[in-house]
Amino acid sequence: MLRRFFPPLQWLPAYRRDTLRGDLSAGLTVGVMLIPQGMAYALIAGLPPIYGLYASLVPLVIYALLGTSRQLAVGPVAMVSLLVAAGVAPLAEGDPGQYVTLALLLAFMVGVIQLGLGLLRFGFLVNFLSHPVLTGFTAAAALIIGLSQLKHLLGIPLPRSNHIHEILWSAVQQVGAVQVPTLLIGLGGIVVLVGLKRWKKTAPGALVLVVLGTLVVSLGDLEAAGVAVVGEVPRGLPVPTLLSLDLGLMQALLPIALTIALVGFMESIAVAKVYAARNRYEVDANQELIGLGLANVAGSFFQAYPTTGGFSRTAVNAQAGANTTVASLISAGVIGLTLLLLTGLFHDLPNAVLAAIVLVAVAGLIDWKEIRFLWQVDRKDFALFLLTFVATLGLGIEEGILVGVVASVALVVYQSAKPHTAVMGRLPGTDTYRNVVRHPQAQMPPGVAVLRMDASLYFANAAHFQEVVRATVQDETLQAVVLDAYPINQIDATGVHALKRICEDLKAQGIDFYIAGAKGPVLDRLYRAGMRETVGNTCFYHTVHEAIVQRDEVRPSMLQNTRFVHLVPA
Amino acid sequence: MLRRFFPPLQWLPAYRRDTLRGDLSAGLTVGVMLIPQGMAYALIAGLPPIYGLYASLVPLVIYALLGTSRQLAVGPVAMVSLLVAAGVAPLAEGDPGQYVTLALLLAFMVGVIQLGLGLLRFGFLVNFLSHPVLTGFTAAAALIIGLSQLKHLLGIPLPRSNHIHEILWSAVQQVGAVQVPTLLIGLGGIVVLVGLKRWKKTAPGALVLVVLGTLVVSLGDLEAAGVAVVGEVPRGLPVPTLLSLDLGLMQALLPIALTIALVGFMESIAVAKVYAARNRYEVDANQELIGLGLANVAGSFFQAYPTTGGFSRTAVNAQAGANTTVASLISAGVIGLTLLLLTGLFHDLPNAVLAAIVLVAVAGLIDWKEIRFLWQVDRKDFALFLLTFVATLGLGIEEGILVGVVASVALVVYQSAKPHTAVMGRLPGTDTYRNVVRHPQAQMPPGVAVLRMDASLYFANAAHFQEVVRATVQDETLQAVVLDAYPINQIDATGVHALKRICEDLKAQGIDFYIAGAKGPVLDRLYRAGMRETVGNTCFYHTVHEAIVQRDEVRPSMLQNTRFVHLVPA
Domain ranges within chain B, ordered by starting residue? 2-9+20-231+246-410, 421-561
Cα B65 from chain centre: 24
User: Tens of pLDDT along B23-74?
Assistant: 999 999 899 889 988 999 999 999 999 999 999 999 999 999 999 999 999 9
Contact list in B for residue A544 (CB cut-off 8 A) is none
pLDDT at site A137: 87
Number of neighbouring beta carbons within 10 Å of residue B17 = 6
Q: State the Cα–Cα distance between residues A535 and A211, nearest whole angstrom.
A: 80
- For chain B, give percent helix, strand, coil, nearest 5: 65, 5, 30
pLDDT at site B450: 94
Between CA B519 and CA B525, with CA B523 as vertex, the angle to 5 degrees is 130
Nearest Cα neighbor of A490 from B371, B450, B283, B415 is: B415
Cα A397 from chain centre: 15
Contact list in B for residue A505 (CB cut-off 8 A) is 277
Q: Which of B129, B459, B567 sits opposite A130 (nearest CB)?
A: B459
Helices (H) and strands (E) in chain B, counts: 26, 8
CB contact under 8 A, B430 and A565: yes
Mean of pLDDT values over B420-447: 88
CB A331 within 8 A of CB A73: yes
Mean of pLDDT values over B479-488: 93
Number of neighbouring beta carbons within 10 Å of residue A125 = 16
Q: What is the per-residue DSSP string for B15-75?
A: --HHHHHHHHHHHHHHHHHHHHHHHHHHHHTTS-THHHHHTTTHHHHHHHHH-S-SS--EE
Nearest Cα neighbor of A378 from A413, A427, A406, A415 is: A415
Q: State the Cα–Cα distance between residues A49 and A42, nearest whole angstrom.
A: 5
Q: Which of B428, B432, B520 sits opposite A435 (nearest CB)?
A: B520
Question: What contacts B18, CB < 8 A, 6 or more positions away?
Answer: none
Contact list in B for residue A275 (CB cut-off 8 A) is none
Which helix (H) or strand (E) is B318 found in, with range? helix B311-319
B103-117, B176-190, B455-469, B546-560: range with highest mean pLDDT: B103-117
pLDDT at site A202: 67
Is A470 near chain B, with CB under 8 Å?
Answer: yes
pLDDT at site B334: 95
CA dihedral (A254, A256, A260, A263) positive or negative:
positive
CB contact under 8 A, A432 and B543: yes
**What CA–CA distances, in Å, run from B158 to A232, B45, B140, B161, B171?**
75, 15, 19, 9, 7
Selected residues 83-122 of chain B with any CB under 8 Å from a CB in chain A = none
Number of neighbouring beta carbons within 10 Å of residue B122 = 16
CB-count burial class (<10 Å; 0-12, 13-18, 19+) for A410 = exposed
Nearest Cα neighbor of A145 from A369, A385, A393 is: A393
Helices (H) and strands (E) in chain A, counts: 26, 8
Q: State the Cα–Cα distance between residues A412 and A390, nearest whole angstrom.
A: 21
Q: Could you tell me the pLDDT band of residue B560, with boundaries at 50, 70 and 90?
A: very low
Helix axes B17-44, B351-363, angle to 10 degrees: 110
User: Tens of pLDDT along B244-264?
Assistant: 888 999 999 999 999 999 989
pTM: 0.77
Q: State the Cα–Cα distance between residues A246 and A106, nearest whole angstrom.
A: 11
pLDDT tops 80 at residue B476: no
Is A376 near chain B, with CB under 8 Å?
Answer: yes
CB A209 within 8 A of CB A357: yes
3-state secondary structure at position B541: strand
Q: State the Cα–Cα distance between residues A49 and A221, nearest whole angstrom.
A: 21
Q: State the Cα–Cα distance between residues A428 and B222, nearest whole angstrom.
A: 84
Q: State the Cα–Cα distance between residues B145 and B163, nearest whole angstrom.
A: 12
pLDDT at site B561: 36
Closest residue in A to B413 (Cα–Cα) = A409
Kindly report the length of chain A: 570
Residue B349 has phi, psi (to 5 degrees) of -65, 120
Beta bridge partners of B484: B452, B516
CB A397 within 8 A of CB A89: no
Closest residue in A to B433 (Cα–Cα) = A542
Which helix (H) or strand (E) is B561 found in, with range? helix B556-561
pLDDT at site A125: 78
pLDDT at site A93: 87
Q: State the Cα–Cα distance between residues A378 and A57, nearest whole angstrom.
A: 43
Selected residues 45-84 of chain B with any CB under 8 Å from a CB in chain A = none
Q: State the Cα–Cα distance between residues B424 and A303, nearest whole angstrom.
A: 54
Nearest Cα neighbor of A39 from A49, A30, A54 is: A49
CB contact under 8 A, B418 and A124: yes
Beta bridge partners of B75: B308
What whole-number percentage of chain B has pLDDT above 90? 42
What one-character DSSP code corresponds to residue B538? G
For an interface test with A, the pick among B126, B367, B443, B459 (most A C-beta atoms closer than 10 Å) comes out as: B459
Mean of pLDDT values over B327-332: 96
ipTM confidence score: 0.79
Contact list in A for residue B567 (CB cut-off 8 A) is 438
The dotted CATH code for B421-561 is 3.30.750.24
Q: Long-range contacts: B201-209, Cβ < 8 Å, 24+?
A: B202/B316, B202/B319, B202/B320, B204/B29, B204/B32, B204/B33, B205/B360, B206/B33, B206/B36, B206/B37, B206/B40, B206/B357, B207/B32, B207/B33, B207/B35, B207/B36, B209/B36, B209/B353, B209/B356, B209/B357
User: Tens of pLDDT along B89-116?
Assistant: 989 988 999 999 999 999 999 999 999 9
User: Tens of pLDDT along B155-202?
Assistant: 888 887 767 888 888 989 998 888 999 999 999 999 998 998 888 776
Q: Which amino acid is at A301?
A: F
CB A285 within 8 A of CB A121: no
What one-character DSSP code corresponds to residue A562? P
For an interface test with A, the pick among B126, B131, B288 (most A C-beta atoms closer than 10 Å) comes out as: B131
pLDDT at site B2: 78
CB B136 within 8 A of CB B388: yes
Contact list in A for residue B405 (CB cut-off 8 A) is none
Nearest Cα neighbor of B282 from A471, A151, A481, A6 is: A471
Is B479 near chain A, with CB under 8 Å?
Answer: no
Pick the residue with more confidence: B427 or B203?
B427
Report chain A's C-alpha Rg in angstroms: 31
Mean of pLDDT values over B532-549: 82
For an interface test with B, the pick among A406, A415, A435, A456 (most B C-beta atoms closer than 10 Å) comes out as: A456
pLDDT at site B378: 87
Q: State the Cα–Cα distance between residues B299 and B111, nearest whole angstrom.
A: 9
pLDDT at site B258: 93
Q: Could you tell me the pLDDT band of residue B213, with boundaries at 50, 70 and 90?
A: very high
Mean of pLDDT values over B134-143: 88
pLDDT of chain A along its 570 residues, tens only?
777 788 888 888 889 999 999 999 999 989 988 998 899 999 999 999 999 999 999 999 999 999 999 999 999 999 899 899 989 999 998 899 999 999 999 999 999 999 999 999 888 777 787 889 888 988 998 888 888 889 899 988 888 776 788 888 898 999 888 899 999 999 999 999 899 888 877 677 888 898 999 999 999 888 888 888 888 888 999 999 888 888 999 999 999 999 999 989 988 987 888 788 778 787 888 999 999 999 999 999 999 999 999 888 898 898 888 999 999 999 999 999 999 998 888 889 999 998 898 888 888 778 899 999 999 888 999 999 999 999 999 888 778 888 998 899 888 888 888 899 999 999 888 888 999 888 888 888 888 999 999 999 999 899 889 888 988 887 778 889 999 999 999 999 989 989 998 898 888 888 889 999 898 889 888 888 888 888 776 688 888 988 888 775 433 333 233 333 334 433
Is A431 near chain B, with CB under 8 Å?
Answer: yes
Q: Which of A439, A490, A525 sits opposite B377 (nearest CB)?
A: A525
Between CA A342 and CA A346, with CA A344 as vertex, the angle to 5 degrees is 90
Which helix (H) or strand (E) is A426 found in, with range? strand A421-426
CB contact under 8 A, B493 and A131: yes
Residue A225 has phi, psi (to 5 degrees) of -80, 5
Q: First-to-last CA distance in chain B?
A: 32
**What CA–CA distances, in Å, run from B429 to A442, A562, B434, B446, B541?**
25, 7, 13, 17, 21
What whole-number percentage of chain B has pLDDT above 70? 96
Q: Which amino acid is at B268?
A: S
Beta bridge partners of A515: A483, A540
Is A166 near chain B, with CB under 8 Å?
Answer: no
Q: Which of A470, A497, A528 sits opposite B131 (nearest CB)?
A: A497
